[in-house]
Amino acid sequence: MARNKLTVTQINASTKTLLGDGDGLYLRRSKSGTRSWIFVYHWQGKRRELGLGSYNSGTAPVGLVAARKRADDVRAQLTDGIDPMAEKRKVAAIPTFGKAADDYIAGQKAGWSNSKHGWQWEQTLGDAYCSSIRNKSVAEIGVDDIVGVLEPIWLEKAETATRLRMRLEKVLDFAKVKGWRSGDNPAVRSGNLIHLLPTRTRQVKHHAALAYADVPGVMAKLTDLDGVGAEALRFTILTASRSAEVFGARWDEFDFDKKVWIIPPERMKARQQHTVPLSDAAVAILKIRLEKKSCDFVFPGQDLKTPISNMTMGKSLKKVAAGVTVHGMRSAFRDWAGDMTNHPREIAEAALAHKVGNAVEQAYRRSDALEKRRALMVDWANFCTSPK
């Protein structure tokens, strides 16, 4: 059947209800004057009409050349034995990257121990970095899209870019499992990306730790600082805890009578419940926070609904000890325990919630080590609060 019968001049001059371009492609005119492209074909003995877009209205009008291209794609599907209408419905059911990312986060949140983790995922996969791909079909995300997202921050914000790439990879893997896309994952670092993103200078970074001899001085300066960040940091130091464990702490995790903090497994890195013995100094901070209680979180953020971030504690630490990380304070504790006390290594490691030894040793520590760890933490608190 002949094709390409129409011209733009004919289309604009015509008032006919139906104009044929040949081989199934038509331009239909409504009573209101709106004109739309349709493709007429037969499938399993039934006549079908497939819409190909509006000619002169809507947010994305389809011109004559574009309509012919769409018609060619439909003809190719028919040649391959594919029903174009069914395929269109299938494509319409495929979400945008933004929707796929939101669905992935929603499904994973319950298993994340860090209450800030979901917020961080939402921030990095939101408009801040992914505005160029959020409204694009997840099935169409390719290497160029991933490079476009990562390249602007790949060198300047290396850690953020690395985390973002891994999150992009997980979302696209999720989309493939859901049947929304096929083929290789364009966000895999060992794939094409390794050739398209600039090579970074390799640097081994450790958590900058404060010398334990300087801890009492830092604690004294923190005591003079106002704000929840300084209080949370002092509590972090006194309990030798991970910052995520502290800023996610809830009031119902504490037993003031027994002076313990019971962190549920879903909030622990090792996914095992951890009981932290509390020194009098640690309890004193909790009592200060209790007087200011505004929500379930012991250390709430500005909105009084969500916990503070690691950045808040980091800012407080920067005011009293520049160049040191919050996580590095755990190293200071471990060095102090090894150099300055006679407490067994296993007790110090248990205080840090590290797994050490075989199953028998671990079972022994679970049943017997709490009071031994309490003695260690009391000694640590006395050291931290000693006058310097």
Residue 216 pLDDT: 93
CATH number at residue 74: 3.30.160.390
Q: Strand (E) positions, the chain?
A: 18-22, 25-29, 35-43, 46-54, 254-255, 260-263, 274-277
Asked whether residue 2 is domain-assigned, the answer is no
Tell me the pLDDT band of 268, cut-offs 50, 70 and 90.
confident
CA distance 139 to 387: 62
CA distance 36 to 19: 10
Query: 124: exposed, middle or buried (C-beta count within 10 Å: 0-12, 13-18, 19+)?
Result: buried
Given a contact cutoff of 8 angstroms between Cβ atoms, the answer to whether 336 and 273 are in contact is no
Q: By residue range, what is the domain housing residue 170?
A: 97-196
Given a contact cutoff of 8 angstroms between Cβ atoms, the answer to whether 212 and 379 are in contact is no
CA distance 76 to 84: 9
Asked whether residue 128 is domain-assigned, the answer is yes
- Residue 137 shares a structural domain with residue 181: yes
- Residue 327 shares a structural domain with residue 223: yes
Out of 92, 111, 140, a domain closes at 92
Asked whether residue 203 is domain-assigned, the answer is no
- Residue 102 shares a structural domain with residue 236: no
- Residue 179 shares a structural domain with residue 272: no
Asked whether residue 330 is domain-assigned, the answer is yes
Pull the structure tokens for residue 311. 């950045």
Pull the structure tokens for residue 194. 């390794």
Indicate whether 207 pLDDT > 70: no
CA distance 179 to 246: 39
- Tell me which residue has tokens 């059947």: 1
Asked whether residue 1 is domain-assigned, the answer is no
CA distance 337 to 325: 19
Out of 166, 196, 226, a domain closes at 196
> Position 304: which residue type?
L
- Roughly how many angstroms between the first and final C-alpha of the chain, as a whole number? 94
Residue 87 pLDDT: 81
Out of 35, 70, 92, a domain closes at 92
Give one DSSP letter per residue of 356-387, joined into a string.
Answer: -S-HHHHHHHHHHHHHHHHHHHHHHHHHHTS-
pTM here is: 0.51
Indicate whether 361 pLDDT > 50: no
- Residue 225 shares a structural domain with residue 357: yes
- Residue 137 shares a structural domain with residue 235: no
What angle separates helix 228-239 from helix 215-223, to the nearest 10 degrees?
150
- Residue 250 shares a structural domain with residue 353: yes
- Residue 164 shares a structural domain with residue 311: no
- What is the rounded average pLDDT of the residues 383-387? 90
Taking only the tens place, the pLDDT of each residue in 97-131 is: 999 999 999 998 887 766 677 888 988 999 889 99
Closest listed residue to residue 372, CA positions, set 345, 338, 335, 340: 345
- Residue 191 shares a structural domain with residue 247: no
Total domain count, the chain: 3
Tell me the pLDDT band of 364, cut-offs 50, 70 and 90.
very low
Taking only the tens place, the pLDDT of each residue in 47-85 is: 999 988 899 766 678 899 999 999 999 999 999 998 988
Residue 333: DSSP 8-state: H
Tell me the pLDDT band of 96, cut-offs 50, 70 and 90.
very high
Residue 113 pLDDT: 65
Q: Which of 16-25, 287-296, 316-325, 370-379 has the lowest mean pLDDT?
A: 316-325
Indicate whether 204 pLDDT > 50: no
Given a contact cutoff of 8 angstroms between Cβ atoms, the answer to whether 353 and 269 are in contact is yes
CA distance 1 to 60: 29
- Residue 279 shares a structural domain with residue 368: yes
Q: What percent of the chain has pLDDT over 90?
A: 45
Asked whether residue 313 is domain-assigned, the answer is yes
Q: Which residues lie across from 250 on neighbouring strands? A: 297
Taking only the tens place, the pLDDT of each residue in 137-157 is: 999 999 999 999 999 888 888
Given a contact cutoff of 8 angstroms between Cβ atoms, the answer to whether 52 and 67 are in contact is yes
Asked whether residue 300 is domain-assigned, the answer is yes
- What is the rounded average pLDDT of the residues 278-297? 93
Mean per-residue pLDDT of the chain:
87
CATH number at residue 251: 1.10.443.10
Indicate whether 209 pLDDT > 80: no
C-alpha distances in Å from residue 247, one per residue of 33, 115, 242: 62, 9, 9
- Residue 246 shares a structural domain with residue 372: yes
Asked whether residue 325 is domain-assigned, the answer is yes
Compute the residue count for the chain. Answer: 388
Higher pLDDT, 384 or 324: 384
Indicate whether 270 pLDDT > 50: yes
> Position 210: which residue type?
L
CA distance 147 to 38: 37
CA distance 223 to 215: 12
Higher pLDDT, 222 or 313: 222
Tell me the pLDDT band of 164, cut-offs 50, 70 and 90.
very high
- Residue 84 shares a structural domain with residue 14: yes
